[in-house]
Amino acid sequence: MKVQYLTNEVAVAFFQKLRSLFRGGAGTDDAHVLIFYVRCNRCGEVIRVRADRRWDLLQELGDGAAGYSLHKDVLGTQCNALMRMLVLFDGTYRITHQEIEGGRFVTPAEYEAFQRSRDQGASGRA
C-alpha cells in the first residue's frame, strides 16, 4: 500500500477503526502499533494517539539515509483545537525527532492520571 500524502487523517483513522472492528480486535497487531500521549494546549485534555507502522508511516528517502515519518492530526473530545503531530524515525523505527503543534507530548502516567481525574469528575456529578 502506497500512501503519498495523508490529507485526511480523520477519515483514515475512521477506516482503521472500522477495519479493526471487522477483524474483531487488535490481537496480533500490537507489534506494529505505536502509542503516543499528547496534551492539548487549549483545554489540557490528554489524548492517546495510536498509529500503525504498516499504514501510518511514510518512507523518507534522504541522502542515502532511509527513514520514516509519521504525520498525524490529533483531535480531542473536549475542544476543537487540532494538534499536528510529526514524528521522525530512522530505518529501524527508532524515534529521532518528535514535535507537536498545539500541544505537547506527555508520559503514559500523565495520561492515566488524566483519565482518573476525568472519571472521578464525571461520577461525582452524576
Q: Which is nearer to Zn ion, 81 or 88 (CB)?
A: 81
Q: CB of residue 1 vs Zn ion: minimum separation in angstroms?
A: 31
Residues making contact with Zn ion (CB under 5 A):
40, 42-43, 45, 76, 78-79, 81
Q: Measured at CB, which residue is nearest to Zn ion?
A: 40
Q: CB of residue 18 vs Zn ion: minimum separation in angstroms?
A: 25
User: What nine digits make up the cell of 17?
Assistant: 477503526
**Sheet harboring 33-40: ordered strands across?**
46-52, 33-40, 103-105
Q: CB of residue 111 vs Zn ion: minimum separation in angstroms?
A: 14
Q: CB of residue 71 vs Zn ion: minimum separation in angstroms?
A: 19
Which stretches of the chain are assigned E, i.e. beta strand? 33-40, 46-52, 57-61, 66-75, 82-90, 95-101, 103-105
Q: Find, among 114, 110, 107, the residue nearest to 35 by Cα.
A: 107
Q: Which is nearer to Zn ion, 57 or 74 (CB)?
A: 74
Q: Which is nearer to Zn ion, 33 or 79 (CB)?
A: 79
Q: Which is nearer to Zn ion, 32 or 42 (CB)?
A: 42
Question: What amino acid occupies position 100?
Answer: I
Phi/psi at 74 (nearest 5 deg)?
-115, 125
